[in-house]
Each structure stands twice: as C-alpha cells, then as structure tokens.
Amino acid sequence: MDYQIELDVFQGPLDLLLHLIEKEEVDIYNIPIAIITEKYLDYLHTLQMLNLEVVGDFLVMAATLMQIKVKMLLPQSSFSSEESFEDDESDPRLELALKLIEYKKIKEASLSLQKLEKNRLLYYTRSGGEFADKMVTPASDPLKDLSVWDLVEAFKVILESLEEKPFECLPKREVSIKQRMTEIMDLVSKEGTLLFQKVFAEVKTKLGLITCFLAVLELVRIRKISVSQSALFGEIILSLPKKVSNTA
C-alpha cells in the first residue's frame, strides 16, 4: 500500500501503555515488562498494517521496551523483577514508570476539564433583549466507556479471523474512506444500532478492511457516531450520538 493516513485519535505510545497497564490491572511501579511488551507489539503490528503516520513514535517506544527487557535479563542487575522499584533508581523500568505517572496525571486533568466543559454546555446565557427558546446540545463522548485501543483490538480480531481466507492483492473497486464513511452512516441511520463486526461483513480484502476501520475511527473522531458495549467484554455497538436538548 502506497498511501499514508494521519488521524489524531491515536494519542501516542504512552496512552497505549497506560491502557495496557490498566487492562492487565498491574501496578505501575511493578510493570511485568515481558507481558506488556508482548501485548504492545501486538497492537503495534495492527497499527503498522494501518500504515499510519504516527507509527514512528510507537516504534521508538517498542525499542525502549525491548531495551528495558534486555537490561532486566542482565545478571549484574541488583534489582528483582518481582519487587516494586519505586525507590530503586537502578531499575530500568523506573524512568518509564515516572513518565507514565505524569502522563496519567495530565490525562486525568484533561478528562476533568472535558467534564466541566460538557456540563457548561448544558447552559445558555441570556444576552439581553428578546430571548427565543434555544435548543442546546451538550458535547457527547463518542467513545463513552471505551477507548480507541479497544477498537484497535476488536479490529485485530477481525483481521485474524479472516487471515486464512484468500484475499485479492488489489480490490476490484477502490473505495475511499470518505465513501465508506457515508455507507457506514447510512447503515447506522437505517438500523439505529449496528454491531462493529457488521461493518466489515461484506468486505473481502485487507485493504477494504483497513479502509472501513479508518472510516469508523474518523466518524468517531468527528462525533458522527458513538461506540459502546452492552456489557464488559461484550459486543461493540455503533450508534448515532444521543442529542440531549435543553432550554435555559
């Protein structure tokens, strides 16, 4: 594939690492580097298939993780991989952990500010004179309780499930991301809710799968669709954002 895609929904390698640590429910001061590195590389493989501009930063982090893993295998290391390294400056994981903690603080502060902004959008200030009723729609969270990495993981499962099927080297009919976005919006509008897997049901090429996935990400980014799960580890569902109207 000779094209490049650049989307701002991928927040960077630290965001992915934090997602993995939270998902595995491990102590940020005692990162099981082998497990996290393996899962990180799985995600990286999927990102490379998407051929995104942002992959370079993720490759740098992958190299950092591998370097830390190698250092922990050295016999002269005085630390124990089974013990917390919060106060052990010789542990190669320490610098990464401190960066993750700082990133987590900034991310939590950002989410708090977004919540305040969302609440503020529920109100409309009267400026004086005649005041007609105004319909105010607060900004919705298109990802709700999910993250972009949950979508990447779901897409990875779809790719793997179709891996043994014969793919054409090039699609017979090239479909742009913009066209896929229109098709997906039509499906969601018609069905009301749409299972994530159904978006890819009729697609027969890897390039087609990637185009569909990027179309979904772009629709989420511009808040045209929302994604959610009915239950923990349940099916991912696409739907139109709920518009809450208020008058003030």
pTM, rounded to two decimals: 0.62
Structurally, how many domains does the chain consist of? 2
Instruction: State whether 1 and 99 are in the same domain.
Output: yes
Tell me which of 120, 152, 179 is where a domain ends. 120
**SS3 assignment, position 10:** coil
Instruction: State whether 113 and 196 are in the same domain.
Output: no
Tokens 């066209």 identify what position? Answer: 179
Domain encompassing residue 158: 136-248
Closest CA to 118 of 154, 86, 92, 144: 144
Instruction: State whether 5 and 114 are in the same domain.
Output: yes
**CATH number, domain containing residue 245:** 1.10.10.580
Instruction: State whether 152 and 203 are in the same domain.
Output: yes
Instruction: State whether 232 and 165 are in the same domain.
Output: yes
Residue range 167-225, pLDDT digits in tens: 455 445 567 888 889 999 998 988 888 888 888 888 878 888 888 888 888 888 888 88
CA torsion angle for 209, 237, 226, 193 (degrees, to 10)? 100
Closest CA to 84 of 123, 133, 126, 32: 32
Instruction: State whether 29 and 144 are in the same domain.
Output: no
Tell me which of 61, 95, 120 is where a domain ends. 120
Q: How far apart are CA 158 and CA 197, in angstroms?
A: 7
Backbone angles phi, psi at 116, to 5 degrees: -65, -40
- Ramachandran sector of residue 171 (left: φ over 0; alpha: ψ -120 to 50; beta: rest): beta
Instruction: State whether 114 and 4 are in the same domain.
Output: yes
Instruction: State whether 106 and 214 are in the same domain.
Output: no
Instruction: State whether 15 and 61 are in the same domain.
Output: yes
Instruction: State whether 248 and 164 are in the same domain.
Output: yes
- Ramachandran sector of residue 223 (left: φ over 0; alpha: ψ -120 to 50; beta: rest): left
Distances (CA, A) of 81 to 19, 55, 199, 212: 21, 29, 43, 42
pLDDT of residue 247: 44
In this prediction, residue 134 has a pLDDT band, given cuts at 50, 70 and 90, of: very low
